[in-house]
Structure 1
Amino acid sequence: MASRKNTGAFITFEGGEGAGKSTQIRAVGERLRAAGHEVVTTREPGGSSGAEAIREFLLFGGHDLSARAEIMMHFAARCDHVDQVIRPAVEAGKIVLCDRFFDSTMAYQAYGRGNGDPALINMVQSLRDLVRMTPDLTVLFQVDLETGLRRAMARAVAISGQGAPLDRYESADRSFHERVAEGFRAIAEAEPGRFARVASESEDVATITDTVVGLIETFLERR
C-alpha cells in the first residue's frame, strides 16, 4: 500500500473510557507511516507544551472548576494545540491523528458534567466554531459500557500501582460515563458525514487496526 497523495488530513479518534482509541492511534500511526504517509500523532488535552501544562491542571490540579470554566480551559489548550501543532502539520501535507478533540469536550463537559444542559452545548458549539479547525474524519470507537469501564479500571489499577494518580475522569461514577456515551451518540448522529463508527469490544487489536487503516485509506482515496 503506497501513499498516493501529499494532501494533509486531520483525523480524530474519539470514544469513552476503555474504548481502545489510545492503543489504536499508536498502531494506526505506525501502519500509515509504513505505507509511506507522513504522520503526526498527538492528544488532547495537550499536544503542545502550553496545552500539556493546562492538561496537568485539568486532570490533576485538584481544583473543582465550574463547568463553563472547565470548557474554557479545554478550548484554551485546544487553540494553542491547533496553532502550534495541528494546523502547521496539515498545511505541510501531513496526516495528523489526534486522540480526542472538541467532540470529547462536548461529550465529557456538556453531557457528562453538564447533564446535557443546552446552554453548555451551545457554548461548546460556539467555541468550536471559533477554533476554525474541524476534523476531516472522526473515528468513534464504540464499546459497551461494562467492557469499557472494566478496561478503564484495569488500566487505572495498573497506573495507580506505578504510583500515578487517577485523573478526574477515571475517578468519575458510572452515571457520568453513561452521559458521556449518550453525548457521543448524539454528536455522531448530528454529523454522520464526518464520523466512522468502529466497534471495539473485541480484544483483537490487530483486526481493529486493519479496520481503521482501511477506513482512513478509503477516505484519503476518495477526497
Structure 2
Amino acid sequence: MDGYFITFEGGEGSGKSSILKSAKTKLADLGLDVLATREPGGIEIAEKIRDIILDPDHTAMDARTEALLLAAARRQHLTEKVLPALEDGKIVLCDRFVDSSLAYQGFARGLGIDEVFSVNQFAIQDLMPDMTLFFDIAPKKGLARIAANENRERNRLDFENIRFHEKVYEAYQVLVSKFPDRIQVINADQPFAQVESEAVSYIDAYLKNK
C-alpha cells in the first residue's frame, strides 16, 4: 500500500478528536491527500455498531461482547474505508484503533491485552498503524474537560468510575513501552494550539523521513 496509516489515541477528554480534525486541515494545506475517520464508526455499518456500544442504556453489556463488537466494527471500517484509502495513497488519520481495545477492554476491563489482541488479529489481518500519537493527560483532568464541555457526545464510558479511567491511562503507559518505535507521546495538558502544533510536526517529520 502506498498510503500511511496514522492513529490518534488517548483517554476520555484528551482532546485527540479535536486535534485530529484540525491536523487534517493543516496537513491538507501542506498539499497532502488526507482522510480523517474514527473508530468505532467511520462508515454506516460501524456507526450503527458504535451506537450500540456507546448507548448509555446498555450498561448490562458484557466486556467480551463489547470487545467483539468493536472488532467487528473495526473490520468493516478497514475493508470499506481505510484499506481503499491506503491503496489510493492517502494519509489516513484515524481517531482510535486497536490500541484502544487493548487499553479499554484488554486492560481496564480485565480481559487481557494479549487475549484482546488475538481477537483483533482476526479483524485487522496484521495491519497496524505506521505511527500512533498518544495524547497524554491525567484522567481527572480529562474528565474535568468533559464535564465542562456541554457540546460533547455523552456515552456509556462517561459513567465509568475514576478507577476505570485510571486503568485505561495505565494501559496506555504499558503500550507506549511496548511499542516505542510506533507510539509518540504528546503532552495533551497544554493549550490547544501547542498540542496541535506538536501533532502536525510529528506527522510531517515522519512523512518527510519516508
TM-score by length of 2: 0.93
Alignment partner of 1:153 is 2:147: yes
Residue equivalent to 2:35: 40
Alignment partner of 1:16 is 2:11: yes
Question: Aligned to 2:117, which of 122, 125, 132?
Answer: 125
Alignment partner of 1:106 is 2:102: yes
Deviations 1:12-42, CA, capped at 9 Å, x for gaps: 0000011110110011000000000111101
Distance between the aligned counterparts of 1:198 and 1:121, measured in 2? 23
Q: Which runs of 5+ in 1 are unaligned?
A: 1-5
Measured after TM superposition, the shift of residue 61 of structure 1 is 6.4
- Opposite residue 211 of structure 1, the aligned amino acid is E
Q: Which runs of 5+ in 2 are unaligned?
A: none
Residue equivalent to 1:82: 78
Measured after TM superposition, the shift of residue 68 of structure 1 is 1.2
- Opposite residue 123 of structure 1, the aligned amino acid is E
Q: Which moved more, 1:210-219 or 1:55-64?
A: 55-64
Q: What are the equivalent positions in structure 2 for 1:74-223 lying under 5 Å apart?
A: 74-114=70-110, 117=111, 120-130=112-122, 131-132=124-125, 133-155=127-149, 158-159=150-151, 166-202=154-190, 204-223=191-210
Q: 1:62 to 1:71 in 2, by over 3 A?
A: same
Measured after TM superposition, the shift of residue 87 of structure 1 is 0.6
Distance between the aligned counterparts of 2:63 and 2:21, measured in 1? 31
Deviations 1:110-163, CA, capped at 9 Å, x for gaps: 22222xx4xx322211123221221000000001222111102212xx148xxx
Q: What are the equivalent positions in structure 2 for 1:27-66 lying under 5 Å apart?
A: 27-60=22-55, 62-63=57-58, 64-66=60-62
Q: In percent, how many aligned pairs have the same letter?
A: 37
TM-score by length of 1: 0.88
